[in-house]
Structure 1
Amino acid sequence: MEYLFPAVLLFVAFAAAIAISLAGVGALNFTGKYKSGLLPYYCYALLMGNGVAVLLSTRNYLDTGELFSESTLSNPVAALAIKVASLFVMIAAVDQFVRFFKSNKKFYFSRVFLFLSFAAFWVCNIILPAYFSPHRASMELSWTYSLVLGCGLILISGVDGYKFIEHFRNATLSFCFVSLVLIFIKPSLVLQTNYAQGYIPGLPRFAGLAPHAILMGMIASLALWCLFLQPFQSRKLTIAFSMIGMIALFLSQAKNIWISFFISMPILMYYRSDFSEWFKINHSKGRFLYFVVLILGFFLGLGGLYLVVFGNLDRFLAGILRSEQGSQLLTFTGREQIWAVALSEWERSPLLGYGLPLFGPDHRNAVGMFFATSGHNQIIDNLGRSGLIGAIASVVHFLAVTILGYLFRHKTQGLSWVLALSLLVRMISEVPITLASISLDTLPYYLLLGMIAANMKLSDPKPSFLKMES
């Protein structure tokens, strides 16, 4: 048995490797039937896998509050659902690699620029802190998921970008609908009735099938953006799902998501409805628009002048700041304590940070902050987790996707610019771009990568300061 048992294990491992390879080849051959490949469908797998995991979990808002952790995944089917979803995403991304290199397409500057910034972002925030920071981490397969998916989306070419909008619309709206239905079936799973930090006293907070209410709000806003740009053929269906998305967004009570949503909708309206012509002063509608803006500005200025002249401005501001909501606005609901912890870890190791275990179970126990799962600010989290090197790589990549999102705003009817702005807003109090795994909070980021890459076509003009693919 001393020699037989290792031999059997080796044979089983070899057979499993062969089986996985054959399954991968078969899957890639199957994807050849789809003109655009499987990558535009990855959002279905990701939302379904995470939704099933939450549905089968032991989360109960009445008992455990609002945190969703791996400890709630007691059902093996829940963990299997996430693994199957990740496997589908990997196959779809590898299929995109094969398609791109078989087509012999050239790498133009904009694609190379995006690819290199993403690769540096991944290396400096995963590999370097994992192996060279003071708190090293063991290699995990999930680290490669974001690398493979990101590179696959960057290599998308010749695919209709609006296929992404259509699939994201269908997937996110279905997710919102099923989550709302569960309010009547299993409210303790999706609804936090004792939430006390909202603007409306007594209003429950809705997390749905998302790990957190903020992510539920993000998914709802993403669904509404996609629905606005690509409505259903049936007007009644469009109105019905618009109401579903608005209800999910409102009940999530995610304040930063509300801000990014209301900032972004006028931008989408501007590019979707050809409002750009309205802003020409020689246009009849443009003259009317300027007149309306002038009248509104006059009355707003008059109200501000009244507060200044009669000395009520200081009382007005003091009353707001003394209120509970004003206090939350100033302190970001306790996030300044989390920021202080992350920055203190960065000061101890300026170049490479604390390491990937920052705000992990052991670190949370050490600092006594069991509720903190991240740095609650993209740059501060990068500084604490991967140091100055990781933060610089992050800023460079954020600038890359923001610039390209702005350049492709016309081709995407404003969606790329809206996604970039929403990420910037969420970066203030959240960490919307994580590379340790692919999760629901990265949906807008990867949609942005796909929308930019899909619109890099041969007919694109070349801006003087950044040549796009031509």
Structure 2
Amino acid sequence: MVDNQLSTMLLYFFGAIVMCGIGMLAVGFFVDINRHFNKWLLALISPVVLAATAASSVLSDRNITNAEFEIGTASGEESAILVWLLRLVTALVLGICIARLISTSQSHESRPRQGGALFAAFLFFYVTNAVLNNIFGIKPVFDQRLIYPALVFLVVYLSRGKGFTPMIDATKWGLLLFCIASVAAIPLFPQAAVQQNYAGVLPSIHIRLWGLGSNPNSIGPLALVLLLLQIYRPFSSRLLQLAGYVVGLIVLVLSQSKTAWFAAIIAIPTLWWGHLLYAAETRGRPRHSAYTLRSFSRPILACLLGLAAVTALAYIFILDPFAKLANDEQVTSLTGRTDIWALAIDTWKQNPLFGYGTSMWDVEFRRLSGMNYAYHAHNQFLQSLSVAGLLGLLGLLVYTFVLFRQAFASNTATRGFSLALFWVIFIRYFTEAPLNMSSIFSGEFVTHLLLFSLVLTRGREPAAIPHAQHDYEPLQNLQWR
């Protein structure tokens, strides 16, 4: 018995040494990659997360054909392949973050002074919504998945001297491929991508597109973000531009996300308004960044014509549509959200200061509450209130105020894009939980990270750096335009 215990201890000891060696080699590998591709390495996080999210929808073997009646079991199960895929992607993201942390700690690169208030507000939001509530809440818990989003935001803050253009381009490419894959999934993986017999507002269309996203209310805003990115910073190829507009509009329309549609009505005119006001101040930028008014008006006109066509069809084929909506139980109850909101408030009352904890809305909580369809509070204010109490709500309000202030300050440099993207997130506050920090594998994380990185330096890019300089050399002459 003693010999067996000694053998087991030696096995664990040498196993730990081997794992430490592999970890050190991996860190060295990522540091070396960062030295050669430091401009794009951090920007790869968003496309990698989107790819993992898309793969999860297929590998989980979900069946959302009758999701309206089986929403609690439609998400599928985490197979062994899916679990290891998510672990590998998480390890990749951690490797990128560690490499950037080592790079910033060993370099003397100049960083802009802007961004300190935004990051401090984010830390306050994170501590109140993911740390204190998990210590003093109704159900204390430690979840290592909460660390990864905060680590990514920390690395983006420390790397703010790199500029935001790589993040925008990488996210735009990632969203384009994600939307193309979601449209392709309609004939290839219909059980995982298309909800049948959906009673939506579009005439003669009784399906709802989930695509390769976690749900329609997640993939719809992602398609809107793709459209905004293409308007703000178009692809150099007209074919790619056309493909992006087509798949973006298909996903946005077929997702039947009313919140995304309303956000589009606010965000696109905001971007148009910003372009009219500030285009003259950005004429010194490359041609592909300064979108002419003539070119800009084309997608706006297409969206308006499409909206007019849908409205006309609704009045032609639906008798008395307003009376139908008024009597629709889904509309009057906001698709069941009122019951979820009531549950969130009742749960918050049990611990008003710190809330329940981030384990609220997990499988066990949904089973005990009898709401298998409630994956979050479907309202960001109530989400913070129920999960983190009054302190969490305070953290959310402070962070939202600072985020809006920085987005507005960046509006000139981004020609309206920062404020338009802020509206996409803020409008979702009232029906979704777009600032949920429980995981990096979500479209909400990608959109939040994009806005954070964009407004961190108020939309200003660093001046060109000589080719001979890199992360590990002093950048004493770095200036900002």
- TM-score bracket for this pair, using the shorter chain length: 0.7 to 0.9
Report the residue type matching 1:225 in the other structure: L
Counterpart among 234, 237, 258 of residue 234 in structure 1: 237
Select 2:195's aligned residue among 192, 195, 203.
192
> Which position in structure 2 is the counterpart of 1:382?
384
- For residue 71 of structure 1, report the CA deviation from its aligned partner: 6.9
One-letter amino acid of the structure 1 residue matched with residue 417 of structure 2: L
Deviation string 1:84-110 (CA, Å, 9 cap, x unpaired) is 222222222333333434443567663
Moved more, 199-208 or 374-383: 199-208
5+ residue gaps, structure 2: 281-292, 294-319, 464-479
2:124 paired with 1:127? no
- Does the 8 Å contact 2:63/2:76 carry over to 1? no
Match of 1:22 in 2: 25
Residues 176 and 220 in structure 1, CA contact (< 8 A), matched pair in contact too: yes
Give unmatched runs, 5+ long, in structure 1: 278-284, 286-317, 460-468
Alpha carbons of 1:69 and 1:39: their partners in 2 closer, same or farther (altered >3 Å)? farther
Q: Which structure 2 residues correspond to residues 16-415 of structure 1 after superposition, within 5 A? A: 16-62=19-65, 67=71, 72-105=76-109, 110-137=114-141, 139-200=142-203, 202-273=205-276, 320=322, 323-324=325-326, 328-415=330-417
Task: Report the TM-score when normalising by structure 1.
Answer: 0.83
Amino acid at match of 2:363: P
Could you report, residue by residue, the CA deviation over 1:155-175 in whole angstroms, capped at 9, with x for unpaired residues?
233334222222111110111
Task: Indicate how the Cα distance of structure 1 residues 328 and 70 shifts in structure 2: closer, same or farther if over 3 A, else same.
Answer: closer
Give the letter aligned to residue 173 of structure 2: N
Determine if contact 1:43/1:171 at 8 Å carries over to the other structure: yes
**Number of aligned pairs?**
421
2:52 counterpart letter in structure 1: G
2:215 aligned partner, one-letter code = H
**What is aligned with 1:293?**
none
Q: Secondary structure at the match of 2:412?
A: coil
Task: Confirm or deny: 8 A CA contact 1:199 1:325 kept in the other structure.
Answer: no
Residues 45, 67 of structure 1: CA spacing in aligned structure 2 closer, same or farther, 3 A cutoff? farther
Alpha-carbon shift at residue 413 of structure 1 (Å): 2.2
Stretch of structure 1 that moved more, 203-212 or 323-332:
323-332
AA paired with 1:111? G
In 2, the alpha carbon distance for the partners of 1:229 and 1:325 equals: 40
Matched residue SS, 2:36: coil
Change in CA separation of 1:202 and 1:324 when aligned onto 2, cut-off 3 Å: farther
Deviation at 1:343, TM superposition (A): 0.8
Q: For the Cα contact (< 8 Å) 2:34–2:100, is it kept in 1?
A: no
Paired residue for 1:315? none
Backbone CA RMSD of aligned residues: 2.6
Matching residue within 422, 445, 460 for 2:424? 422
Q: Deviations along 1:112-164, whole A, 9 cap, x unmatched? A: 21121111211111111112112111x22211101101111222333342222
Q: How far is the alpha carbon of 1:245 from its aligned partner?
A: 0.9
Instruction: Give the Å deviation of 1:335.
Output: 0.8
Task: Write out per-residue CA displacement over residues 22-42 of structure 1, whole angstroms, 9 at most, x where no aligned residue.
Answer: 211221121110141411111
Cα offset, 1:185, TM superposition = 1.8
Instruction: Label 1:272 to 1:79 Cα distance change in 2 as closer, same or farther (>3 A).
Output: farther
CA distance 1:217–1:435, shift in 2 (3 Å): same
